[in-house]
Amino acid sequence: MILGERQINDVDKCELMTCSECSCTGNSITTCQGTNIQNLIDTLIHYIHTIKRLQYGNLTFEGAECPLCGGNKVDGHKNECEVGKILDGGKNDTKY
């Protein structure tokens, strides 16, 4: 199951709220945390794949630019680019 923004925020605040306040499905103390961790992982993987498709506007030509940093497909993202950092796995070894 892919979590929405509200559900992700609720997973983050899990220990600070009661299950009845949570927007996640499977609101049971015995199953919720494990289920939500797996759902969170599935959501993050989905978002990474979506960001990969969107990073250059889904354009195929080499001059296509990232909408956030302006880096192109050939040279890569600029060091400060959030998209580049997400897709580089935190290595921050972009070409700029």
- Kindly report the pTM of this predicted structure: 0.61
Query: Is 11 in the same domain as 38?
Result: yes
Query: In angstroms, how far is CA 4 from the centroid of its own chain?
Result: 11
Residues 59 and 96 in one domain: yes
Q: Is residue 49 part of a domain?
A: no
Considering its fold, how many domains does the chain have in total?
2
Backbone angles phi, psi at 10, to 5 degrees: -65, -40
Shared-domain flag, residues 35 and 61: no
- The answer on 35 and 73 residing in a single domain is no
Does residue 29 surpass a pLDDT of 80? Answer: no
Q: Cα(77)–Cα(67) distance, rounded to whole angstroms? A: 10
The answer as to whether 80 is a domain residue is yes
Cβ(10)–Cβ(23) below 8 Å: yes
Q: What integer pLDDT is reported at residue 96 of this predicted model?
A: 38
DSSP for residue 25? S
User: Which residues constitute the domain of residue 36?
Assistant: 1-43
Taking only the tens place, the pLDDT of each residue in 52-87 is: 888 877 666 666 888 888 888 888 888 888 888 888
Q: Is 28 exposed, middle or buried (0-12, 13-18, 19+ CB in 10 A)?
A: exposed
